[in-house]
Amino acid sequence: MSAPTRVAVVGAGDISGQYLTALTAYPDLAVTAVADLVPERARAQAEAHGVAGWGSTADVLARDDVDLVVNLTVPAAHAEVALAAIAAGKHVWGEKPLALDRASARAVLDAADAAGVVVGNAPDTVLGPGIQTSHRLLAEGAIGAPRTVLTLMQGPGPDVWHPRPQFLFAKGAGPLFDIGPYYLTALVQLLGPVTSVSARGQIPRAERTIGSGPDAGTVFPVEVPTHVSVVTEFASGVVGTSVYSFDSALRRQLFEVSGADGVLEVPVSGFDGPSRLLTGTAPDSPWRTVPAAGVPSGRGVGVLELARAVRAGRPPRASGELAYHVLDIMLSVEESIDLGGPVRVESTTAPVLPIPPHWDPTARTYDGTEQT
């Protein structure tokens, strides 16, 4: 039982390097293969990271030495690749979003249940020591009962740096679906499920220009709102105000929870940032910085948390149900923009306990020292 969980990465594009660097370093995991629609891309990433196997998705899913598939394809392929992996009897970790629509996302979760495999999906920054420290501060009552939350994600958009940014301005992306999951997954983990949303969306620029790589200078159309404003109601009674924007020269990320006894600033971007607390109400009250407690981690920590959860027979923290709820919220925001009014969010998800600070991704735990 102490052999590592054997992992295959499907999708050898931009983000796969960060994943492969982390996954090949965690002793509880062994990366056995890399797949891509473009086989040379799979081969290059496999060779760069010392992974023996590479090939097409079908080749890799047919392998006996793969327990868990890490789905790093583009959002439009997420459900199809997840379903193929489940049909091959593999557990699946997926990059956000879970799928592009509710029916496909539900089909993935139902297929996994029927096959007896487990699905995890999130931007896994939410499992890093930074956000987990904020989660523990909230749970310990550091700001009293949460009342409101303010989140801002503003910037010029990924067309300025991504070599293939078209998919980030197409259905299934835009700031809401591409960046929203970072905020919404953290919002739901920290504050519980959402019950309704009311939103407005704008497309200030109908075309964008690729800013880097071999296709730099190519103009492409924008298909989804690039500035989205949302009012969110949570089951707990908390009310949130959020902006998701690719239309600002100002780069700003903010996540502030206001409670009965103070304000908590959550380090939403990255894995290991500090939390900040403001508990006085005088104009010059100082913020207190609380460093992230826990072993530093990076992209891929969600794969490890899922693998360890499967091994221990417990649900993963970044579960398929949580990802479904986050997708349902984003689709409800999209519907609210189209309707011009509030939309009820029908799904919900169970509360998740924070990760304890002693949880160590770099430890070998399958020898009986399972860390929950």
Ligand X SMILES: NC(=O)c1ccc[n+]([C@@H]2O[C@H](COP(=O)([O-])OP(=O)(O)OC[C@H]3O[C@@H](n4cnc5c(N)ncnc54)[C@H](O)[C@@H]3O)[C@@H](O)[C@H]2O)c1
User: How crowded is residue 370: how many other Cβ atoms within 10 Å of its Cβ?
Assistant: 14
74 binds ligand X (CB under 6 A): yes
Least separation in angstroms between residue 271's CB and ligand X is: 12
Told to check if 327 binds ligand X by CB under 6 A, we report no
What is the C-alpha to C-alpha distance for residues 325 and 193, in angstroms, rounded to an integer? 8
| Sequence-ordered list of residues with C-beta below 8 angstroms from that of 133, at least 6 positions apart, any chain | 274, 275, 290, 291, 292, 293, 294, 357
How many of the chain's residues bind ligand X (CB under 6 A)? 23
Among 5, 73, 245, 332, binds ligand X (CB under 6 A): 73
Asked if residue 48 binds ligand X (CB under 6 A), the reply is no
Under the binding rule (CB under 6 A), the answer on residue 62 touching ligand X is: no
d(CA 298, CA 272): 8
Instruction: Answer positive or negative: Cα dihedral of 112, 42, 296, 244.
Output: negative
> What is the SS3 assignment for 119?
strand
Nearer to ligand X, 75 or 316 (CB): 75
State both tokens at 152: 């801002």
Residue 91 or residue 136: which is nearer to ligand X going by CB? Answer: 91
For residue 209, what is the enclosing H or E element? strand 207-209
Determine the residue type at 163: P
The structure tokens listed for 112 are 């996994």
Nearer residue to ligand X within complex by CB, 63 or 288 = 63
Using CB under 6 A as the binding rule, whether residue 57 contacts ligand X is answered as: yes
Q: What angle do CA 88, 23, 13 make, to 5 degrees?
A: 75
Q: Which is nearer to ligand X, 13 or 298 (CB)?
A: 13
Q: Is 189 in the site for ligand X (CB under 6 A)?
A: no
**Contact with ligand X (CB under 6 A): which of 28, 67, 95, 265?**
95
Nearest CA among 227, 247, 218 for reference residue 337: 227
9-17, 140-148, 185-193, 243-251 -> range binding ligand X (CB under 6 A): 9-17
11 binds ligand X (CB under 6 A): yes
**C-alpha of 262 from chain center:** 27
CB of 32 to ligand X, least distance (A): 16
Residue 309 makes CB contacts below 8 A (sequence gap 6+) with 118, 120, 315, 316, 317
| 13 counts as binding ligand X under rule CB under 6 A | yes
How many of the other CB atoms lie within 10 Å of CB of 251? 9
Q: Least separation, in Å, of the C-beta of 186 and ligand X?
A: 14
DSSP string, 142-188: TTSSEEEEEEEEE-S-GGGT-SSGGGGGSTT-HHHHHTHHHHHHHHH
Between residues 173 and 188, which has the closer beta carbon with respect to ligand X? 173
Asked if 15 touches ligand X (CB under 6 A), the answer is: yes
Nearest CB to ligand X, comparing residues 95 and 305: 95
Place of tokens 């649900």: 315
Nearer to ligand X by Cβ, of 57 and 242: the residue is 57
- Work out which of 5, 46, 75, 365 binds ligand X, going by CB under 6 A: 75
Contact flag: residue 159 with ligand X (CB under 6 A): no
Indicate whether 303 belongs to the interface with ligand X (CB under 6 A). Answer: no
Specify the residue, 238 or 268, whose C-beta has the smaller distance to ligand X.
Answer: 268
CB 254 within 8 A of CB 273: no
Positions in the binding site for ligand X (CB under 6 A): 10-16, 35-38, 41, 57, 72-75, 77, 81, 95-96, 164, 178
